[in-house]
Amino acid sequence: MSIAELYELYTRYPSIQTDSRKIQKGDLFFALKGPNFNGNLYAEQAIRDGAAYAIVDEAVASDNVRLIQVKDVLSSLQQLAHYHRKTFDIPFIAITGSNGKTTTKELVHAVLSTQYTTYTTKGNLNNHIGVPLTLLSIKRDADVAVIEMGANHLGEIAGYCVYTEPTIGIITNCGKAHLEGFGSEQGVRKGKGELFDFLRAHNGTSFAYADYPYFENMTRGIAHQFWYSENANSTKENLIAAGDIYKSDPFLEIRLQAAHRADRVIETQLVGAYNLPNVLCAVALGRYFDIPDDTIQKAIAAYAPSNSRSQLIHKDSNQIILDAYNANPSSMQAAILNFSKMKADNKVLILGGMKELGQESPAEHLKLKALIDQSGSWDKVILIGPEFEGIAPEYSWFKDQHAAAEALENTPFRNSYILVKGSRSNGLEKLVEVL
């Protein structure tokens, strides 16, 4: 079956499902394969459960006409997403970066959706499966699309750009993340910079934080450049938003500043001064799309984070900052320094090991230990995961979150301010139940 024929089928059955356990009547089931699963094995069951058709890439012992065999299911899904993308003539905004891309995506969506029908990535569906699924979720009434792109190796962002064809691109930052795949910080810039490479080659538009010097080279040659900054006196052309921190204890408030505009304070429900560039980016996109500052201000103030990102949780006598969806040296440093500056007693650090750092992992965890030593007075420090084993005997260490949870149940904290920060694979959000 050709992609054009598959697309005609999709127009009749526009609900895509890749998990056979979640089939709803009328879904198109794409039987994806991975190291530990093979969707082809469940294709017939998906049809029995209500799927209109199942797309497979292995021979299935059945003559069911609703089984459609293609050469490669994943490739077909991505090509179908590209075919769908080509039917739109609207702005497609792509967002990537080492840290803050999901929060930035959510803030940009909150602002743009006040005046435009805006579709965006759900949750963290930002990989080789999530990106095409996001594209295929965009309906005909769309005015703008916001697509988050994650990556842990070179060539990944470039691949997403092929079938997403972004017209506007945002790189939040380039830090020490996924060093195992990218090799170095320079590799991170090259990998994330594949988004700007696409824009450069296709007369696109970039948005970047002027306070990060590396964006000077990364944006060179892009036809349309816009900037946001902490410095209202920046000499950047097309500086569209500037603001600094007004308060950040615990929630971030920023003061917008710009020539010919009155200063304005934007309140947020985000914990952490490190969210300043994320908020300024949303302001910049809002202004680019001619949304009034009053509307932008209200949209950002109304946004409440979820999914264990910069959340402040009040539980019994404790206040918990839950930021346990992503962790790398850059984000860990920002979170710890921000926490150290907060005015609170009985501060507790609960940190999980950082993943995908390759051969740099031991050195980066030792640097993190040194930062903990130097940056504040902690009532308690708890380190979780094999990455921390043996490097900080003066602190409490547990092999995983289950062992930590058992200890915390036996010796609970009271009247404490607690930062919970770690990579998603550590599952530290589960500790909130016993804190």
Q: Is there a contact between 291 and 115 (Cβ–Cβ < 8 Å)?
A: yes
Q: Which residues pair with 207 in a beta bridge?
A: 170, 226
Instruction: Supply the pLDDT for residue 63.
Output: 80
pLDDT along the chain (435 residues), means of 10: 95 96 97 93 95 93 88 97 98 95 96 98 89 97 97 93 98 83 86 97 98 96 96 89 92 82 86 94 97 96 85 92 88 92 92 91 94 90 95 94 93 93 88 91
Cβ burial, residue 237 (10 Å; 0-12/13-18/19+): exposed
Instruction: Supply the pLDDT for residue 262.
Output: 63
Q: Is there a contact between 21 and 7 (Cβ–Cβ < 8 Å)?
A: no
Instruction: Supply the pLDDT for residue 327.
Output: 87
Q: Is there a contact between 230 and 322 (Cβ–Cβ < 8 Å)?
A: no
Residue whose structure tokens are 């799309």 = 289
Give the separation between CA 102 and CA 311, rounded to whole angstroms.
14
Could you tell me the pTM of the whole model?
0.90
Instruction: Supply the pLDDT for residue 232.
Output: 84
Where are the strands (E) in 112-250, listed by range? 118-120, 144-148, 168-171, 205-209, 224-229, 239-248
Give the separation between CA 179 and CA 184, rounded to whole angstroms.
6
Residue whose structure tokens are 């994650």 = 150
Instruction: Supply the pLDDT for residue 26.
Output: 96
Instruction: Supply the pLDDT for residue 1.
Output: 87
Domains in the chain (CATH in brackets) are 3-71 (3.40.1390.10), 88-302 (3.40.1190.10), 311-434 (3.90.190.20)
DSSP letters of 15-70? -EE--GGG--TTPEEE--EETTEEGGGGHHHHHHTT-SEEEESS--S---TTEEE-
In the sheet with 28-30, reading across from the earlier edge strand, the strands are: 16-17, 28-30, 53-56, 67-69
Q: Is there a contact between 225 and 195 (Cβ–Cβ < 8 Å)?
A: no
Taking Cα atoms as reference points, which of 110, 106, 111, 108 lies closest to residue 123? 106
- What share of residues in the chain are helix, strand, coil (percent, to 5)? 40, 25, 40
Instruction: Supply the pLDDT for residue 310.
Output: 79
Sign of the dihedral defined by the CA atoms of residues 419, 424, 427, 433, in that order: positive
